[in-house]
Amino acid sequence: MSTYSRIAGTGGYLPELRLSNQDLVERLAKIGLETSDEWIVTRSGISARHFAADNQLTSDLAVKAAQSALEAAACTSEDLDLIILATSTPDHLGGFPSTACVVQDKLGAHTNCAAFDVQAVCAGFTYALAIADAFIRTGTYKKVLVLGAETFSRILDFQDRTTSVLFGDGAGAVVLEASTELGILATALHADGSQRDILCVPGHAKQGGVDGSAYLTMDGPAVFKLAVKVLEQVAHEALEKANLKPEQIDWLVPHQANIRIMESTARKMGMSMDKVIVTVHEHGNTSAASIPLALDVGVRSGQIQRGQHLLLEGVGGGFAWGAAVIKY
C-alpha cells in the first residue's frame, strides 16, 4: 500500500505590535521619509504589518504557530519525528545553529526528532513542504512539522521607502502526517541563481562584522516582472502533475507579497479573486511565513474545507519559486 502525506493541522502567529500604514507613515516622517497610506495600498494592497518585540526571536514566533498547528492536528511535540523550518531571518547569525533546532528545544520535542532549516526566501515554505512530502512518501518519517517564520523587520532599511513599507513579521505552520489517502498531490520547484541580485541581502560576514549592507535590497520592477511570469508557469506545471485543471482548484493560496501579483496570477489562471485567499492587507509580506499564514486563515475562517483542492505557490529571492497542489 502506498504512503502519502496529508495536512493534519494548521497554525499561525502574528506578533502583538501591529503598525497600520498611518502608524508607519508617522514613524518614517520622524526620520525625514515621506510616504502615505494611499501610496502603500495602491502599490501593494498592504494596510498593516506586525513587528516582533525586541525580545522576540524568529524561533519564538515559530513556536507559537507550531503549538497552534499541533493542537489542530490533535498531537503533541513528542509525536513529531522531523521539524523543517523555512526562514531568511534565523535566530543566529549565519543560521548556525539552525532555528529549527531551537524550535525543537522550545517545543520540548525529543531527540529522535530531526530538525533543520530551509532557505528559499519567500518560496521557502513550498520548498519545505515538498521536502517533507518526499520524506513521508519514502517512509522515512511519519509526522513532520513544517514551518515558515520570519522577523524581516530586523533587516529592513527604514531609509528605503520601496522596501520598508512592504514587509512584516510572522510565522505559519502545518503538521504533515503519513496517510493512505492522497493529500499533497504534486509539487514543483525551480530556481535561477543568475537573478540573485534583484532581491537579496548583499552583505557578507567578515572578521566578526559585515562587509557590505546587512539590509534587504530589491529591484521592485524586475522582481514583479519575473514573479508574474514564473508563478503562472509553476502553477500550470504542478496542476499538470496532479492531473487537474485550474477550474478544479477551489482555492488559490499564494505568497502574500503584493495584491497586484496575486491578481495577475489569478487572471492568468482564469480564476476569480473570490477563489483567492488574501491576507496581505493585514500583515504585508512575511516571506516564508506568508503561505502558511494565509492557509491557516483560510482554514480557521471556514473558507477552506476538507476535500477541497488547493494550489499553493510562492516566489522569492534566489531567485526561487515553487508550487504545491493539495487535497485538503
Task: Please say whether the beta carbons of 192 and 319 come within 8 A.
Answer: yes
Beta bridge partners of 10: 174
Q: Round to whole Å and give the CA distance between 199 and 197.
A: 6
Nearest residue to 42 (alpha-carbon basis) of 264, 256, 227, 281: 281
Q: Round to whole Å and give the CA distance between 88 and 288.
A: 8
CB count in 10 Å sphere of residue 189: 19
CATH level 3 topology of 185-327:
Peroxisomal Thiolase; Chain A, domain 1 (3.40.47)
Give pLDDT, residue 94: 85
Give pLDDT, residue 264: 94
Would residue 285 show up in a list of annotated catalytic residues for this protein? yes
Give pLDDT, residue 93: 87
C-alpha separations of 269 from 47, 130, 209, 288 in Å: 26, 22, 46, 23
Determine how β-strand 169-179 pairs with β-strand 143-151: antiparallel
User: Of 21, 255, 258, 283, which residue is the catalytic one?
Assistant: 255
Would residue 113 show up in a list of annotated catalytic residues for this protein? no
40-99 tens-digit pLDDT: 999 999 999 999 999 999 999 999 999 999 999 999 999 999 999 999 999 998 889 999
Task: Please say whether the beta carbons of 58 and 87 come within 8 A.
Answer: yes
Give me the residues of the chain with pLDDT under 50, please: none
Task: Please say whether the beta carbons of 264 and 229 come within 8 A.
Answer: no
Domain segments of the chain: what residues?
A: 4-181, 185-327
Would residue 122 show up in a list of annotated catalytic residues for this protein? yes
Task: Please say whether the beta carbons of 5 and 146 come within 8 A.
Answer: no
User: Of 122, 200, 258, 283, which residue is the catalytic one?
Assistant: 122
Give pLDDT, residue 1: 82
The Cβ-side half-sphere exposure at 307, using a 13 Å CA radius, reads 0
Shared fold status for 4-181 and 185-327:
yes
Q: Round to whole Å and give the CA distance between 60 and 67.
A: 11
Cα-trace Rg, the chain: 19
Give pLDDT, residue 95: 87
Give pLDDT, residue 291: 98
CATH level 3 topology of 4-181:
Peroxisomal Thiolase; Chain A, domain 1 (3.40.47)
